[in-house]
A and B are shown apart, each in its own frame.
Chain A
Amino acid sequence: MSDPMFDAAAMMATTVPQAAALGFQLVSAGAARGSLSVPWREDLVGNPATQVIASGVVTSLLDHCCGLAITSARGERMPTATLDLRIDYMRPAAPRAGVTAEAHCYKMTRTIAFVRAQAWDEDPNDPIATAQAAFILHGAPGPGESA
């Protein structure tokens, strides 16, 4: 597949330094949704006793996925800043398991995007974490400006 939006999504998943450092991989992007995965790695472990991936990695993954969903909703990459991010951790991931996340930008105004996301290790219907976030769109015209 080679549409410009998918290419932008792939760029976003791999060229942002934090995303590259964590080893994010693009799963899918389109229809105001975006999905990324992060493979398990020894240096990303949060609990050495269980070898479970750190919740901080999941935080970065969910935040990045939300940005991807916004790109997907706009049809182009757009600089955003996170306003707030709420994450509920249902359970730890399985030992030595990678994590996949999907985000849905369910509402976008001229300046703000509202996004929900969830992360899972094996089954999307058995999430390890869910997130709710709001983002400001930096590329959006401010009040009184024309598009």
Chain B
Amino acid sequence: MSDAARQLEAFLQSVPYVRFLGMRAELAGDEMTAILPFSDHLVGNVMLPALHGGVIGAFLEMTALAQLSVAQSTPLVHKTIDVTIEYLRPGRAQTTYARADLRKVGRRIANVHVEAWQEARSKPIASLQGHFLLGSEG
């Protein structure tokens, strides 16, 4: 197992809320794909049915934090400063995937863009733009 994979596994295993969501992740080199299998407790609209908007937002945010944990070789938890979530399509009752793009990782702040999709990556269901305060060593 590579350092990055170990770092990612440590992050996913250590956060109880990640287990509550049922979120997993796969690593290809330094590129991570986050996976959120469908589960009844994630539903926000039983008529459609559709995933809760908050769940989609939370999944995107956890994807950003997981990708940061891979990129930054530190076990420290980074803090979310702000997120803007755009909802593009309903989240159907199926598996959702997400990938994070670290647009800029500075000394203290990271600017991250995340996109989530279901059947096709070319048809994203939501995206997130966020700023994160990087955990410091001190």
Chain A residues with a Cβ under 8 A of chain B: 16-21, 42-49, 54-57, 59-64, 79, 81-89, 92
Taking the closest CB of chain A, its distance from the CB of B85, in whole angstroms, is 5
- Between A and B, 13 residue pairs with Cβ closer than 8 Å are A17-B41, A17-B44, A18-B55, A19-B52, A55-B61, A56-B17, A56-B62, A59-B54, A64-B44, A82-B87, A85-B87, A89-B80, A89-B81
Given known contacts A84-B85, A85-B57, A86-B84, is B42 in contact with A46 (CB within 8 Å)? no
Contact A59 B61 (CB under 8 A): yes
Given known contacts A49-B77, A84-B86, A92-B79, is B20 in contact with A44 (CB within 8 Å)? yes
Q: Is residue B105 within 8 Å, beta carbon to beta carbon, of the partner chain?
A: no
Taking the closest CB of chain A, its distance from the CB of B124, in whole angstroms, is 14
Q: Is residue B35 within 8 Å, beta carbon to beta carbon, of the partner chain?
A: no
Given known contacts A59-B61, A61-B54, is B82 in contact with A48 (CB within 8 Å)? no
A46's nearest neighbour on chain B, judged by CB, is: B17
Question: Most chain-B CB neighbours within 10 Å: which of A44, A47, A54?
Answer: A54
Chain B residues with a Cβ under 8 A of chain A: 14-17, 19-21, 40-47, 50, 52-55, 57-59, 61-62, 77, 79-87, 90
Known: A54-B15, A56-B58, A86-B84. 10 other contacts (CB 8 A): A18-B52, A46-B16, A47-B77, A56-B17, A59-B58, A79-B45, A82-B85, A85-B87, A86-B85, A88-B82
Taking the closest CB of chain A, its distance from the CB of B39, in whole angstroms, is 9
Contact B61 A21 (CB under 8 A): no
Contact B41 A18 (CB under 8 A): yes
Bound Cα distance from A84 to B47, whole angstroms = 21
Taking the closest CB of chain A, its distance from the CB of B49, in whole angstroms, is 9
Contact B16 A57 (CB under 8 A): no
Given known contacts A18-B41, A82-B53, is B46 in contact with A88 (CB within 8 Å)? no
B41's nearest neighbour on chain A, judged by CB, is: A21
Q: Kindly list chain B residues whose C-beta atoms are within 8 Å of the C-beta of A46.
A: 15-17, 77
Bound Cα distance from A89 to B61, whole angstroms = 12
Contact B79 A89 (CB under 8 A): yes
Taking the closest CB of chain B, its distance from the CB of A145, in whole angstroms, is 20
